Amino acid sequence: MRNIIFIAPPASGKGTQSEMLVDKYDYVHISTGELLRDEINSGSEKGALIQYKMNNGILVDEEIVGSLLKNKLEGLNNKRFILDGYPRSIEQANFLKELLEEINLCDVICIYLDTDEKSLMNRALGRYNCPICGRGYNVYEETEKPLHEGMCDDCDVPLIHREDDNEESFIKRFNTYKELTEPILDFYQKNGILYKVNNGGTPEETFQNIESVIK
């Protein structure tokens, strides 16, 4: 199975699909958003700068994201990876291409989750996660609500909401995606490694669509 770069708008379910792939196949999930949130939680000075940018829906400086990513990719020990949240610009796509060549990891495809963009804002504003098991909920979707308001069904602990999942930050993230990230699709199309996957159904249906590409 080949390494995967996921491209999709914010709150389109890349994280959920990545977790499903990790559960079923032996992938390592590399989310630059998660790497940055870990850096914030470490309490470092760099973390404070990152937090400001993330909360405001602004891209974090390339030197910071690039070096976190490089460390992670260099420590893979021959495991396959899913890249979620990187690249987000043509500049990052070029950096990634060179990095992967340097460390000899060129068996990569780009999966684009073709997503209905109308409902994304509600998905972001309504999403909550369990801090223990990571399970995701959505308070605006009847089928994705927790049984008891604000609590994880499995762990019985309070759910958390990402600070940057507010309206203002979401609009900025979405616009940045349209302006800087979407043009990368053309880049991967020209490289002959772009696969478009329908993300219009349930998460399970999207997962099956992804499986038919990676197999």
Question: Which residues of the chain form contacts with ligand ADP (CB under 6 A)?
Answer: 10-11, 32-33, 36, 53-54, 57-60, 65, 85-86, 88, 92, 164, 173
- Of the candidates 34, 48, 132, 25, the one whose C-alpha atom is nearest the C-alpha of residue 83 is 34
**CB 169 to ligand ADP: min, Å:** 7
**CB 138 to ligand ADP: min, Å:** 13
Closest residue to ligand ADP, based on beta-carbon distance: 33
Could you tell me the CA-to-CA distances from 133 to 17, 42, 199 in Å, in that order?
16, 20, 24
> Which helix (H) or strand (E) element contains residue 168?
helix 167-176
Closer residue to ligand ADP in complex, CB, 153/161: 161
Closer residue to ligand ADP in complex, CB, 68/152: 68
**CB 65 to ligand ADP: min, Å:** 4
**Contact by Cβ (8 Å): 180, 89:** yes
Closer residue to ligand ADP in complex, CB, 57/126: 57
Q: Which two tokens stand for residue 183?
A: 């043009």
Closer residue to ligand ADP in complex, CB, 65/214: 65
**CB 148 to ligand ADP: min, Å:** 26
Residue 154 to residue 58: CA distance in whole angstroms: 34
CA 158 to chain centre: 23
Residue 170 to residue 55: CA distance in whole angstroms: 10
Closer residue to ligand ADP in complex, CB, 56/156: 56
